[in-house]
């Protein structure tokens, strides 16, 4: 992936894609987001009365975005054209915070029908 390709090349949850490709290997990115003490206190009160915890929802959205951007960066470093089989995982590493991990298989697309790339090519 080039820097420009990061914006256009696929980050896919599908396990497979059409056409020949070479498996490069697993890539991952993670992001830990935390809230503020004051906002955490407000969210705790909202939790007591049964309201939506928007602050935490926004925190998770930011962590997902950050993890996917770092996944793309890892794909760029290994020269991938796409990442397939992408999955997200979460963890609570601190109170009031969350970690999101994005991982998948980096692949390089074959560049023509006569392009033999070895045993890892599908």
More confident position, 93 or 119: 93
Total length of the chain: 122
Can you give the pTM of this predicted structure? 0.73
Q: At what angle do helices 37-49 and 54-77 cross, to 10 degrees?
A: 120
What are the tens digits of pLDDT across the range 29-68? 999 987 655 555 555 665 556 666 677 778 889 999 999 9
Residue ranges of domains in the chain: 5-109
Q: Tell me what pLDDT residue 97 has.
A: 76
On whether the 5-109 domain is CATH 3.90.1150.10, my answer is no
Q: Tell me what pLDDT residue 48 has.
A: 57
One DSSP character per residue, 68-107 reads HHHHHHHHHHTT-SEEEEEEEEEE--STTEEEEEEEEEEE
Torsion of CA 17, 22, 84, 15, to 10 degrees: 60
Angle subtended at Cα 98 by Cα 10 and Cα 16, rounded to the nearest 5 degrees: 25
């Amino acid at each position: 992936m080039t820097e420009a390709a990061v914006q256009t090349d696929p980050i896919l949850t599908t396990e497979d894609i059409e056409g020949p490709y070479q498996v490069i290997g697993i890539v991952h990115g993670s992001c830990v987001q935390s809230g503020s003490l004051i906002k955490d206190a407000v969210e705790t009160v909202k939790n007591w009365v049964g309201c939506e915890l928007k602050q935490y929802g926004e925190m998770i959205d930011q962590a997902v975005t950050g993890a996917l951007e770092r996944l793309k960066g890892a794909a760029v470093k290994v020269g991938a054209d796409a990442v397939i089989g992408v999955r997200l995982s979460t963890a609570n590493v601190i109170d009031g915070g969350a970690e999101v991990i994005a991982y998948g298989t980096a692949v390089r697309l074959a560049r023509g029908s006569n392009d033999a790339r070895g045993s890892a090519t599908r």
